[in-house]
Protein backbone atom coordinates (compact mmCIF):
# COMPACT_ATOMS: atom_id res chain seq x y z
CA UNK A 1 0.00 0.00 0.00
CA UNK A 2 1.53 3.34 -1.01
CA UNK A 3 2.43 5.78 1.71
CA UNK A 4 0.38 8.97 1.89
CA UNK A 5 2.11 12.26 1.15
CA UNK A 6 1.42 13.64 4.63
CA UNK A 7 2.91 10.52 6.23
CA UNK A 8 6.03 10.78 4.05
CA UNK A 9 6.55 14.44 5.04
CA UNK A 10 6.15 13.42 8.68
CA UNK A 11 8.76 10.64 8.35
CA UNK A 12 11.27 12.89 6.58
CA UNK A 13 10.76 15.66 9.14
CA UNK A 14 11.20 13.31 12.09
CA UNK A 15 14.38 11.99 10.48
CA UNK A 16 15.77 15.48 9.91
CA UNK A 17 15.31 16.20 13.60
CA UNK A 18 16.63 12.78 14.69
CA UNK A 19 19.80 12.94 12.57
CA UNK A 20 20.48 16.59 13.41
CA UNK A 21 20.26 15.78 17.12
CA UNK A 22 22.34 12.63 16.66
CA UNK A 23 24.99 14.71 14.87
CA UNK A 24 24.93 17.15 17.79
CA UNK A 25 25.56 14.35 20.27
CA UNK A 26 28.23 12.51 18.29
CA UNK A 27 30.17 15.24 16.52
CA UNK A 28 29.40 18.86 17.28
CA UNK A 29 26.36 20.91 18.21
CA UNK A 30 24.10 21.54 15.22
CA UNK A 31 21.16 23.89 15.77
CA UNK A 32 18.35 24.36 13.28
CA UNK A 33 19.87 27.72 12.41
CA UNK A 34 23.34 26.24 11.79
CA UNK A 35 21.89 23.46 9.66
CA UNK A 36 19.88 25.97 7.64
CA UNK A 37 23.02 28.05 7.08
CA UNK A 38 24.96 25.03 5.82
CA UNK A 39 22.14 24.17 3.43
CA UNK A 40 21.56 27.78 2.39
CA UNK A 41 17.87 27.57 3.32
CA UNK A 42 15.74 29.40 5.86
CA UNK A 43 15.68 28.35 9.49
CA UNK A 44 11.88 28.27 9.09
CA UNK A 45 12.19 25.44 6.55
CA UNK A 46 14.15 23.29 9.01
CA UNK A 47 11.80 24.21 11.85
CA UNK A 48 8.72 23.40 9.78
CA UNK A 49 10.12 20.05 8.70
CA UNK A 50 11.07 19.06 12.23
CA UNK A 51 7.89 20.23 13.95
CA UNK A 52 5.50 18.81 11.36
CA UNK A 53 3.15 21.76 11.97
CA UNK A 54 3.12 22.41 8.26
CA UNK A 55 3.12 19.67 5.65
CA UNK A 56 6.09 21.02 3.81
CA UNK A 57 8.02 19.04 1.27
CA UNK A 58 11.71 19.34 0.62
CA UNK A 59 13.50 19.40 -2.70
CA UNK A 60 15.70 16.53 -3.76
CA UNK A 61 18.67 18.92 -3.82
CA UNK A 62 18.10 19.97 -0.21
CA UNK A 63 17.54 16.37 0.87
CA UNK A 64 20.85 15.45 -0.79
CA UNK A 65 22.59 18.36 0.97
CA UNK A 66 21.10 17.24 4.28
CA UNK A 67 22.50 13.77 3.78
CA UNK A 68 25.94 15.24 3.05
CA UNK A 69 26.00 17.69 5.97
CA UNK A 70 24.68 15.18 8.50
CA UNK A 71 26.67 12.29 6.99
CA UNK A 72 23.59 10.10 6.59
CA UNK A 73 22.69 7.97 3.55
CA UNK A 74 19.84 9.75 1.76
CA UNK A 75 17.57 6.70 1.90
CA UNK A 76 17.63 6.85 5.72
CA UNK A 77 15.36 9.91 5.51
CA UNK A 78 12.62 7.68 4.06
CA UNK A 79 12.80 4.98 6.73
CA UNK A 80 10.87 5.07 9.96
CA UNK A 81 13.03 6.75 12.58
CA UNK A 82 13.58 5.11 15.98
CA UNK A 83 10.58 5.51 18.30
CA UNK A 84 8.40 6.72 15.40
CA UNK A 85 4.72 6.96 16.16
CA UNK A 86 2.38 7.25 13.20
CA UNK A 87 0.13 9.78 14.91
CA UNK A 88 3.01 11.74 16.42
CA UNK A 89 2.81 15.22 14.96
Number of domains in the chain: 1
Position 3 pLDDT exceeds 60 = yes
Which of the pair, 62 or 88, is modelled with greater confidence? 62
The domain of 49 spans 5-74
pLDDT value of residue 73: 96
In this structure, what CATH number is given to the domain that contains residue 50?
A: 1.10.260.40
Whole-prediction pTM:
0.85
Q: Rounded CA gap, 59 and 77, in Å?
A: 13
User: What are the pLDDT digits (tens) for 14-50?
Assistant: 999 999 999 999 999 999 999 999 999 999 999 999 9
Q: Rounded CA gap, 85 and 89, in Å?
A: 9
Position 89 pLDDT exceeds 50 = no
Amino acid sequence: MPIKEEELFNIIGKNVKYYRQKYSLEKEKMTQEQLAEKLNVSTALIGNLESNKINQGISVINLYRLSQVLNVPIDNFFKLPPNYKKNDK
